[in-house]
Chain A
């Protein structure tokens, strides 16, 4: 199963339209909404995991884009500042998906962006603020 995490930004004029529900019916993909801030007359933001055949996922994304939704891979907007990080490992106790994990036996602290769901728990837990999750303010406030 092809699975990818995306950050979707919805133009404010789409805030009252049923968009996501059609992914299942018309494009035969499954999805998991990890985060969503959709308010009337505001730009909406959603962190969405999409699963399905690669070509179906591709068609589903094209469908979303037709509404003016901008799409980014989540893994491209979350990063660890390796200059700041001193590999203490405090984040590994709180990361729910083990995207931040310890390599044994050398105890190196590694970050795998593909496993990250953008929950943002690590941002405030990191003693040197090395994790950067650049979703917009409204989503940051949810985390």
Chain B
């Protein structure tokens, strides 16, 4: 006996996609469809719900192979536009981290630092077709005698460029405030003293993992929108924490699940991979990700019908509690409240600002919807789902 009234398989949905008959809606559109028709009817009507998110995601970067030189080189230290890349791989393979600042950056020596250029900016420049200066030094071996390399490269010159992001798409995140007496500069932005502003960072009802909160469809091998191209979920992300406190609708009220994703950088675009500078904190990278959710049954319809009012997060003090591991919060708020521009903390009205672009998240969900509707993008069955405990 099947426990659901509506039962579809990914193969059936793919057949409908190929036939141009699949009904695809964005996660925002699904909210109204489920509200009006109920989850069961919505599950009959809709085949795929598309999600999206576009915000800074520090744990992102790229494995680049820059091709051999004559004579050959085993690069031991490598810089791209003066941003150090990790070279402890094979001869001309490197990993460039999105959050790596340029080597001559003054950092926080004059506080708060500006952090104008880093690994994320290098990747954005490569995607924009710009030339990037590659420098490498080596100690020289019999098989790799060259000890120095300096040349301008473009993305087209690289034999391989693979985006590898160990942690993207955090399922929920803290709302940050500062209860100290002076302004602080954090990865959650600039926070004024005495709780005068609050910053948050989630696409809310559009966010990929908020629409499959218990990881019933997303897993290793799920095909996704990544940086404007197609990529894959390749593992659960680092710090994946399925055990976080949850509401009855399945959504977590704390940072919870995460995704590790990979994709061919050469398919991506500078519109969806952007270098980011966060005052006083560092350089990082904004990544656009969208995940399609197959509506296999009424449970998935109910999950994807979740609205900003149904998702909550905690308000955390970043002046002391966060940095000292104090597990305390100053209340819980819904994303509907956060998006209204004002929340109440300790009885006071506090102005809120997002760090995650809803406009771009919506655009990603719309692009993914078009890809699927046109028959170009079918769903992949994951080989293993994300751990749910």
A interface residues with partner B (beta carbon < 8 Å): 86-94, 102, 104-109, 124-125, 127-129
Contact = CB atoms under 8 A, between A and B. Distances in A.
Main secondary structure of the interface of B (DSSP, over half): strand
Contacts, number: 76
Given A90-B189, A102-B354, 15 more contacts: A86-B359, A87-B357, A87-B359, A87-B360, A88-B354, A89-B354, A89-B357, A90-B353, A93-B351, A93-B352, A104-B340, A107-B339, A125-B190, A128-B274, A129-B277
Contact of B353 (A87, A93, A124): A93
Interface of B: 54-56, 112, 114, 116, 189-190, 192, 197-199, 274-279, 286, 339-341, 351-360, 362
Given A88-B354, A93-B352, A104-B341, A124 B114 contact: yes
A119 to B, nearest CB: 13
A128 B197 contact: no
7 A-B pairs closest in CB distance: A93-B353, A107-B358, A89-B354, A127-B276, A87-B359, A93-B197, A88-B357
A104 B58 CA distance: 28
Contacts of A128: 274-277, 286
Contacts of B197: 93-94
Contacts of B341: 92, 102, 104
A131 to B, nearest CB: 12
B353 A107 contact: no
Contact of B359 (A104, A106, A125): A106
Contact of A86 (B192, B360, B362): B360
Contacts of B198: 93
B360 A124 contact: no
Contacts of B275: 128
A104 B278 contact: no
Contacts of A109: 357, 359
B274 A88 contact: no
A32 to B, nearest CB: 23
A87 B359 CA distance: 7
Contacts of B189: 90, 93, 125
B286 A127 contact: yes
20 contacts: A86-B286, A88-B55, A88-B286, A88-B354, A89-B357, A89-B358, A90-B355, A91-B353, A93-B352, A94-B197, A102-B341, A102-B354, A104-B340, A106-B362, A107-B354, A107-B359, A109-B359, A124-B279, A128-B276, A128-B277
Nearest to A94: B190
A129 B276 CA distance: 8
A117 to B, nearest CB: 18
B274 A90 contact: no
Of B192, B352, B359, the most chain A CB neighbours within 10 A belong to: B359
A92 to B, nearest CB: 5
A88 B355 contact: yes
A104 B359 CA distance: 11
Nearest to A126: B277
B124 to A, nearest CB: 9
Contacts of A88: 55, 286, 354-357
B355 A89 contact: yes
A125 B357 contact: no
Contacts of B339: 104-105, 107
Given A93-B189, A108-B359, A86 B274 contact: yes
A41 B246 CA distance: 66
